[in-house]
Amino acid sequence: MREVTRTTPPTDRLLTIPNAISLLRIALVPVFALLIVDRDTTAVGFTVFAVVLATDWLDGVVARGIGQVSEVGKVLDPLADRIAIAAGLVALVARDAFPLWAALPILLRDALVLVAGILLLARGGKRIDVRYIGKVATFSLMAAIGAVAWGNLGYALAPAFLACGWVLYGAGIVEMLVATVLYARDARHAMASE
């Protein structure tokens, strides 16, 4: 039996357990979005949204753990994150649980990243690796969105969740800006290396 290490090179396989996890996360997006918007099912939708966000780490851990890191997975995992965050934000803004002014910087930055990623892939299949600061920013913003929405929906300990949420939001925005500058530099280098 071959020992799996962190240095196992990525494969070109499409059908892997981690990719299935990412696809399941994407498939749950319309489910939680519709549930959040409906006042009678907001709590259930919010819970499904939280599960989708909380399992962000799962596909990557499984991929490395069982040696199923794939080139598709390296694109699919961050794509699942971006889609889930965008849909959750839109649903929470529609439900008046998260302010539009706070959602717009996140949505605009994610749209920019998505367009840049598509352009790079179209220009010879280039891809930019996720940076650690990008992961930290995503985590901070996911936690912030959840905490602010929790507080605005008036659930238990709402003032504490709001305070923590806005602190995390501020930190996440700073981290997001730093990551964006680094990703822009990475994209410029990738384009120049043609």
Q: What is the pLDDT of residues 38-59, one digit of tens each?
A: 999 999 999 999 899 888 777 7
Decide if 81 contacts 56 (C-beta within 8 A): yes
Backbone phi, psi, residue 2, to 5° = -75, 135
Statement: residue 10 has pLDDT above 70: no
Has residue 1 been placed in a domain?
A: no
Q: How far apart are CA 170 and CA 148, in angstroms?
A: 12
Q: How far is CA 189 from the centre of its chain?
A: 24
Q: Could you tell me the CATH number of the domain that includes residue 26? A: 1.20.120.1760
CA 144, CA 146: separation in Å to the nearest integer? 5
CB 56 within 8 A of CB 138: yes
* 25 in any annotated domain: yes
Q: What confidence score (pLDDT) does residue 171 get?
A: 98
Q: How many structural domains are present in the chain?
A: 1
Residue labelled with tokens 């939708």? 45
- Give the structural domain span for 61: 17-192
So what's the pLDDT on residue 1?
36
7 part of a folded domain: no
